[in-house]
Amino acid sequence: MKGRQIILDHVSGREAAALMVDGQLDDLLIDGDAPRPGTIYRAQALKPVKGQGGIFLETPDGNAFLRQVKGIAPGEKLLVQVTGYAEDGKAIPVTQKLLFKSRFAIVTPGAPGTNISRNIRDDDRRDELLLIAREERGAFEAAIADFGLILRSSCAAAGDVEIAEDIGAMMRLALDVSGDTGSQVETLAEGDGPHLLAWRDWTAPADVVTEPGSFESHGVMDALEALRGPEVPLAGGASLYVEPTRALTAVDVNTGADSSFTAGSKANFAAARELPRQLRLRGLGGQITLDLAPMPKKDRRGFEAALRSALKLDGIDTVLAGWTPLGHYELQRKRARLPLSEVLS
């Protein structure tokens, strides 16, 4: 089926959302048991641990870890936000830089200024958005003097009233949380679930399907079954295998039956284009090692460019660590999703 579809349903009793593009599963969100990214806590500092580069905190959901901090005393209360999912057996990753994010606006306490997405290039529209932002900020006067505001690319085609209401809602939430004066460890705001995340982040025009059982009737369940296996077919008979281990995720690229001189390069470039989607759908992050098909060293720069371009569209923070002495290529990826193997187990 051509076009974009956002399908909202449940899998094994868990809230889930799927984005289908031209009949292919392009993105997937399934709720888990771990604290959602975006959750905000009033946390309590525990004793610093030497050599860890941060401090452990007590939260309602267990210990969290805050990196690169100084001057925090044990027992001190502070506001922190969950930034991603923890590795098995490790503390929840958090930050003190709070973000209040919605479909059109992001409010940033402690980082003042008004910014508009660079994807909005029409000068007249940018001026209109600045005026909307100024009027909404004025309604809160000095209370938000140190709050920043980012207007997202979805504002380009949205209605002015809708944008203004979204800014106001995020400003009020940011004020409520930032002005917290409680003294006990507590969850102050829950992170967004899959259905709300789909509304917030999948902003391109799409048909929205909400009937129960839509995952089955629209092919999502078939795609999930394919994701249970490691093999991913590529163009020209090539393939890649994605296999998570406890330490890292190993990705193996094979040329298949093609034995031509350019087979390795073609397979590797196809893998570069497909890999971000596979990591996104499988919920994989951390260290990722690519065992590529043999190709001339002169093609390495082109491979990196193709991979970088695909990852840029992916939207999940990924560091290209580079080549190893054995010719493998390494990535370090944010754990922005729960592994599919965990939420479907």
Digit-coded pLDDT (tens) for 3-45: 999 999 999 899 999 999 999 999 999 999 999 999 999 999 9
Q: Which pLDDT score is estimated for 27?
A: 97
| Alpha carbon of residue 167 to chain centroid | 22
Measured from the Cβ of residue 70, the count of other Cβ atoms closer than 10 Å reads: 6
Q: Please state, in angstroms and rounded to a whole number, the distance separating the CA atoms of residues 272 and 311.
A: 9
Q: Which pLDDT score is estimated for 216?
A: 96
Q: Which pLDDT score is estimated for 208?
A: 97
Comparing C-alpha atoms, which of 292, 271, 281 is closest to residue 316? 281
Helix (H, G, I), strand (E, B) or coil at 47: coil
Per the CB < 8 A criterion, the answer to whether 238 and 226 are in contact is: no
Q: Which pLDDT score is estimated for 138?
A: 87
Instruction: Write down the domain spans for the chain.
Output: 1-31+193-224, 40-95, 100-192, 228-343
Q: Which pLDDT score is estimated for 174?
A: 95
Task: Give 246's DSSP letter.
Answer: S
Q: Report, at the CATH architecture level, how domain 100-192 is classified.
A: 2-Layer Sandwich (3.30)
Q: What average pLDDT does the chain have?
A: 94
pTM of the model: 0.92
Percentage, residues of the chain above pLDDT 70: 100
Q: Please state, in angstroms and rounded to a whole number, the distance separating the CA atoms of residues 106 and 152.
A: 7
More confident residue, 99 or 145: 99
Comparing C-alpha atoms, which of 222, 204, 157, 211 is closest to residue 3? 204
User: Residue range 204-233: average pLDDT?
Assistant: 96
Q: Which pLDDT score is estimated for 333?
A: 96
Task: Give 157's DSSP letter.
Answer: G
Comparing C-alpha atoms, which of 34, 33, 38 is closest to residue 200? 38
User: Residue range 285-304: average pLDDT?
Assistant: 96
Whether the per-residue pLDDT at 62 is higher than 80: the answer is yes
More confident residue, 48 or 248: 248
- At residue 52 the predicted structure's pLDDT band, cuts being 50, 70 and 90, is confident
Q: Please state, in angstroms and rounded to a whole number, the distance separating the CA atoms of residues 157 and 120.
A: 10
Q: Element (H or E) spanning 186, and its range?
A: strand 186-189
Q: Which pLDDT score is estimated for 64?
A: 96
User: Residue range 240-253: average pLDDT?
Assistant: 96
Q: Please state, in angstroms and rounded to a whole number, the distance separating the CA atoms of residues 271 and 254.
A: 9
Q: Please state, in angstroms and rounded to a whole number, the distance separating the CA atoms of residues 345 and 328.
A: 31
Q: Could you tell me which CATH number the domain at 228-343 has? A: 3.40.630
- At residue 70 the predicted structure's pLDDT band, cuts being 50, 70 and 90, is confident
Whether the per-residue pLDDT at 331 is higher than 90: the answer is yes
Whether the per-residue pLDDT at 1 is higher than 80: the answer is no
User: Residue range 102-119: average pLDDT?
Assistant: 96
Whether the per-residue pLDDT at 318 is higher than 80: the answer is yes
Q: Which pLDDT score is estimated for 75?
A: 93
Per the CB < 8 A criterion, the answer to whether 48 and 57 are in contact is: no
Q: What is the CB-side half-sphere exposure of residue 97 using CA atoms within 13 A?
A: 8
Q: Which pLDDT score is estimated for 89?
A: 83
Task: Identify the CATH class of 40-95.
Answer: mainly beta
User: Residue range 194-220: average pLDDT?
Assistant: 96
Whether the per-residue pLDDT at 191 is higher than 90: the answer is yes
Q: Please state, in angstroms and rounded to a whole number, the distance separating the CA atoms of residues 109 and 318.
A: 25
User: Residue range 275-291: average pLDDT?
Assistant: 97
Comparing C-alpha atoms, which of 188, 196, 197 is closest to residue 61? 188
Whether the per-residue pLDDT at 340 is higher than 90: the answer is yes
Whether the per-residue pLDDT at 207 is higher than 80: the answer is yes
Comparing C-alpha atoms, which of 127, 116, 55 is closest to residue 91? 55
Q: Which pLDDT score is estimated for 71?
A: 82
Residue 311 phi/psi, 5° resolution? Answer: -70, -30
Q: Please state, in angstroms and rounded to a whole number, the distance separating the CA atoms of residues 72 and 55.
A: 8
Q: Which pLDDT score is estimated for 315?
A: 87
Helices (H) and strands (E) in the chain, counts: 8, 20
Percentage, residues of the chain above pLDDT 90: 84
Per the CB < 8 A criterion, the answer to whether 319 and 329 are in contact is: no
Measured from the Cβ of residue 172, the count of other Cβ atoms closer than 10 Å reads: 15
User: Residue range 331-335: average pLDDT?
Assistant: 96
User: Residue range 163-173: average pLDDT?
Assistant: 96
Q: Please tell me if the domain spanning 40-95 has the same topology as the one spanning 100-192.
A: no
> If you search the block for the tokens 């391109």, which residue do you land on?
204
- At residue 160 the predicted structure's pLDDT band, cuts being 50, 70 and 90, is very high
Q: Which pLDDT score is estimated for 209?
A: 97
